[in-house]
């Protein structure tokens, strides 16, 4: 595995993960996947990843809690990994009650692979 180009995909919906896994593999990335934040943190502890695509609404540990853990509890440089939120919310009201300021960017569902590739290429 080329760890410099490994993307961690975190989403509780299987089909969402499949779409992202296939698209990113086709674009040449290696992929790790988790279905909640708890699994994602375990993977982050054990692997070096290039960036994280993190769903917001998930059981067990949601995206906001997961990001908070990464930024506040993990040692550097893992605490500084690029994290992009995957969210179905496409209007600004979500910003009124959720803090996205620690995310490095956002992918809005339904996403396109072009949108994701553009984001990753800027990383």
Residue with tokens 């279905």: 35
Chain positions 51 to 110 lying near Mg ion, rule: CB under 5 A, are: 55, 57-58
Least separation, in Å, of the C-beta of 25 and Mg ion?
A: 21
Nearer to Mg ion, 30 or 57 (CB): 57
Where helices occur in 47-106 by DSSP H, the ranges are 63-73, 94-97
Beta strand spans in 70-117 (E): 82-87, 105-108
State the Cα–Cα distance between residues 106 and 49, nearest whole angstrom. 18
Nearer to Mg ion, 1 or 15 (CB): 15
15 token code pair = 């089909």
Nearer to Mg ion, 12 or 33 (CB): 12
Chain positions 2 to 41 lying near Mg ion, rule: CB under 5 A, are: 12
The contact set with Mg ion (CB under 5 A) reads 12, 55, 57-58
């Amino acid at each position: 595995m080329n760890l410099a180009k490994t993307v961690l995909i975190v989403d509780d919906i299987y089909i969402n993960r499949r779409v992202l896994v296939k698209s990113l593999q086709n674009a040449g990335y290696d992929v790790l996947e988790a279905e909640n934040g708890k699994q994602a943190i375990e993977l982050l502890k054990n692997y070096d990843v290039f960036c994280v695509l993190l769903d917001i609404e998930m059981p067990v540990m949601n995206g906001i809690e997961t990001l908070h853990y990464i930024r506040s509890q993990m040692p550097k440089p893992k605490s500084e990994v690029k994290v992009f939120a995957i969210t179905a919310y496409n209007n600004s009201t979500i910003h009124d009650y959720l803090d996205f300021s620690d995310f490095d960017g956002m992918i809005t569902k339904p996403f396109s692979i072009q949108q994701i590739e553009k984001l990753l290429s800027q990383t």
